[in-house]
Amino acid sequence: MIDRIVSAPLVTAEAFADHDSAFVPSAERAAVARAVPTRQREFFTVRHLARRAMVQLGVPGGDRMPILKGERGAPTWPEGVIGSMTHCTGYRSAVVGLLSDVRSVGIDAEPHSALPSGVLPSVSIAAERDWLASAAREHGPDVHFDKLLFCAKETTYKAWFPITRRWLGFEDAHITFSVDDTGRSGGFTSTILIDGTVVSGAPLTELRGQWLVDGDLVVASIVVPHE
């Protein structure tokens, strides 16, 4: 599924259920030692997928590499590697690539259902809510565009943070969408509403991504190219 919106030179891996891995680094076991078993399984599974992708990418020692949580929960990747991971009910996915090929990548997956009542105002700006109202009239009820918006916001942050090392709130990006003829896929643009100064390279003012709804899942991706 994720490979429909992320392509080479990035490598993807996904699973629709947790599975036992023959190898889990001790540091990863320690990181979730106090978590409930379901949390441990999703934590291990998505990292197993990331290691599998690193092996396919040709990262030395990628099959044994621990992937821990770093600053603000962002995954810690080997030197020269960039990636993103996501998990939700019934789905886990990882994408990895080389920093020599892309500046950053972000992915997110969510159950394709409406946002809980009262959540939308806290994760959107007025212009986005106006678009949601018109999208519902134009495209009908087949896509929960409110959940798509949330998914795109999460994806934006995941792509933004590795480059800037700064927080990006839900109100700090304006997401606009395009919808393909199928009505269940398309693109989006994240216009950054705060200072886009980065650690190195061109400032981030706009990020472009893709989205897809398939069955009971919605997924989104952003790949930030080198200028």
Enumerate the known binding-site residues for Mg(2+).
108-110
Q: How many whole angstroms from its chain centre is CA 141?
A: 24
3-state secondary structure of 183: coil
CA atoms within 13 A on the CB side of 134: 10
SS3 223: strand
> Measured at the alpha carbon of residue 128, what is the angle toward residues 161 and 113, in degrees to the nearest 5?
85
Cα 7 to the center of its chain, rounded Å: 14
Name the binding residues for CoA. 39, 47, 86-87, 108, 154, 158, 168
Q: Is the peptide bond before 9 cis (omega within 30 degrees of 0)?
A: yes
Cα distances (angstroms) measured from residue 47 to each of 66, 123, 175, 208 = 8, 28, 29, 26
State the Rg of the chain over Cα. Answer: 17
Residues annotated as binding site?
39, 47, 86-87, 108-110, 154, 158, 168
